[in-house]
Amino acid sequence: MKTLEGQIEAAGFRFGIVVSRFNEFVTSRLLAGALDVLTKAGASQEAIEVARVPGAFEIPLVARRMARSGRFDAVICLGAVIRGETPHFEYISAEASRGIAQAAWEADLPVVFGVLTTENVEQALERAGAPERNKGAEAARTAIEMATLLRALKTTKKGLHRSLRRRITGTRRKR
Ligand code: INI
């Protein structure tokens, strides 16, 4: 049995990050957490592009554009929707999550949900704090794992095609 798994190794991979300005005192911490994970895992500065949008509602469109551009191996979405401050909390968080999932499907690429949806500011700050609880850091780890897993799957598929072709044409494997 073969088990495929992603790894936390980001060298040679490219990442797009979409981060919203609304509740910037929270989203800037998510961004810092994500950048810390990516660079420590080996991603170069040139391999990371950050796009800023006004609010979480605007994240999906830019995430989709980035994901479809062919320039990235994964896209990370960062935002903070806080119920206490938002009468239309449900609409914004639902649209952000639905749109982000749809962007991934349409682009066939990992588009990771790093948007906090919390009851209050305290909860938001708690989830944007220390690296082990920082949702931006967690989203970056997920992006790396998914990008490496998809590359492993691609390699396996290529290997499979080669072995099928060899079987059909009767050619031998090169040593
Ligand atoms: N956007 C957020 O990212 N978080 C919020 O908590 C928020 N609140 O409170 O309203 C918010 N609103 C802005 C929204 O995302 C759009 O930018 C705006 O509606 C324009 O489309």
**Of 18, 26, 86, which is best to mutate to test ligand 1, by the most ligand atoms within 8 angstroms of its C-beta?**
86
Residue 144 lies in a domain: yes
For the ranges 83-92, 115-124, 162-171, which has the lowest average pLDDT? Answer: 162-171
Does the annotation count 88 as an active-site position? yes
pTM across the whole model: 0.89
Q: Rounded to an integer, what distance in angstroms lies between the CA atom of residue 49 and that of residue 75?
A: 9
What's the whole-number mean pLDDT along residues 20-31?
98
Residue 157 lies in a domain: yes
Residue 4 lies in a domain: no
Specify the number of domains making up the chain: 1
Give residue 84 CA to ligand 1 midpoint distance, Å: 13
Residue 97 lies in a domain: yes
Domain of residue 151 covers 15-169
Q: Rounded to an integer, what distance in angstroms lies between the CA atom of residue 159 and that of residue 149?
A: 15
pLDDT of 164 > 80? The answer is: no
Which CATH number is 44's domain given? 3.40.50.960
Average pLDDT along the chain: 92
pLDDT of residue 84: 80
Give residue 92 CA to ligand 1 midpoint distance, Å: 7
pLDDT tens by residue, 91-147: 999 999 999 999 999 999 999 999 999 999 999 999 999 989 999 999 999 999 999
- List, edge to edge, every strand of the sheet that includes 74-82: 48-53, 15-20, 74-82, 111-118
